[in-house]
Amino acid sequence: MTRIVVKWGGSLQENSGAIADDIASLWREHDIIVVHGGSRDIDDTVRELGLPRRTLRSPDGMVTRYTDAPTLTALMMAMRGRTQPRIIAELAARGVEAVGLSGMDGGLIRTERKTAVRAVFGDSVRVVRDNFAGRVVGVDTRVLEALHTCGMVPVVCPPGMTADGQATNVDADRMACAIAAAWRADRLLLFTDTPGVLADRDDPASTIASLSRDDARKLVPELSGGMRMKVAAAVEALGGGAQAVQVCDGRVHAPVAAALRGSGTLIGKGRDTL
């Protein structure tokens, strides 16, 4: 069977039914893993708990959530208590047998905590030490393989876990890419709220149809926001074993089917295309 990893973006709640429809039409003929984030639900949970919403900007411009201990707890509450049950329910309503997991379950996502993070504060760079962010250092696909053997669809979310049992926040795009690489997926679909990777961020018609891995790596410093993280993660996935990554529009009708037909930006291992 073709192996497909679908990154279900938290910003695409309004079109979640269309994504679920596509998965329902494909899951019997393909091995599918769904990976999701939950930024909106995390923000709502953080606010309801009276916690500040904070971000960190690295010296090279990457922006990530500042995950201190209370925020990490809020993140786990939101992912497993709000976002994931909603996705499982969407799939179940369409007859898809799905099982929810976090990266901690079965040692699925092994991480190292970033114990000292350099971040920009105004005109200075400081070291942050109370951030529970992690980098993925390993993926154990056995639980995923077991679920597929049973004919089920794994639905996976952060956090991951260190060797000593500490939960760590991991970017969901990077988690999806790590899973796709370890599982040697035929296609990783990274859904976003743009038509794909744009040559001009202000021109939706400037979608780049295809990029080689080297092209994508060179392009990363020119990108910003979530797209920068997605393309950087795609480069990592291709280097680790994934066969191709599609950055595609999750707002369209039948988004998974459209992506598999070639919509969006295909990032592959071929020769440079720029």
* Mean pLDDT, range 261-272, rounded to an integer: 82
Q: Classify residue 177: in a domain, yes or no.
A: yes
Question: Is residue 50, in this structure, part of any structural domain at all?
Answer: yes
In a domain? residue 164:
yes
Q: What is residue 226's predicted lDDT score, i.e. its pLDDT? A: 84
Residues 201, 224 contacting (CB under 8 angstroms) = yes
Q: Output DSSP code: residue 169.
A: B
Q: Percent of the chain, pLDDT > 70? A: 97
Q: For the chain, what percent of residues have pLDDT higher than 90?
A: 82
Q: Structurally, how many domains does the chain consist of?
A: 1
Q: Which of 128, 144, 244 is nearest to 187 (CA)?
A: 244
pLDDT tens, residue by residue, 138-163: 999 999 999 999 999 999 999 999 99
Domain that holds residue 78: 2-268
- 66, pLDDT greater than 70: yes
Residue 209 CA to residue 67 CA, distance in Å, equals 35
The answer to whether residue 6 is domain-embedded is yes
Q: What is the pLDDT of residues 91-150, one digit of tens each?
A: 999 999 999 999 999 999 999 999 999 999 989 999 999 999 999 999 999 999 999 999
Give the Cα separation of 265 and 73 in Å (integer). Answer: 35
Cα gap 30→232, rounded to integer Å = 26
CATH code for the domain of 134: 3.40.1160.10
At what angle are helices 225-240 and 172-183 packed, to 10 degrees?
Answer: 20
pLDDT mean across residues, the chain: 93
pLDDT of 202 reads 87
Q: Is residue 99 part of a domain?
A: yes
Rounded Cα distance between 72 and 166, Å, is 11
Q: What is the DSSP letter of 80?
A: I
Instruction: Output the six-digit token pair for 124.
Output: 């200075």
* 46 Cβ contact list (under 8 Å, min separation 6): 52, 53, 71, 74
Confidence class of residue 10 from pLDDT cuts 50, 70 and 90?
Answer: low
- Say if 274 falls within a structural domain: no
How far apart are the C-alpha atoms of 20 and 164, rounded to whole Å? Answer: 36
Check residue 147 and give its pLDDT: 97
Residue 210 DSSP label? E
| Within-domain flag for 273 | no
pLDDT band of 273, cuts 50, 70, 90: very low
- CA-based nearest residue to 36, from 90, 117, 116: 90
At 67, list the tokens.
């995950």
Confidence class of residue 272 from pLDDT cuts 50, 70 and 90?
very low
HSE-CB of 18 using CA atoms within 13 angstroms: 17
What is the pLDDT at residue 209? 94
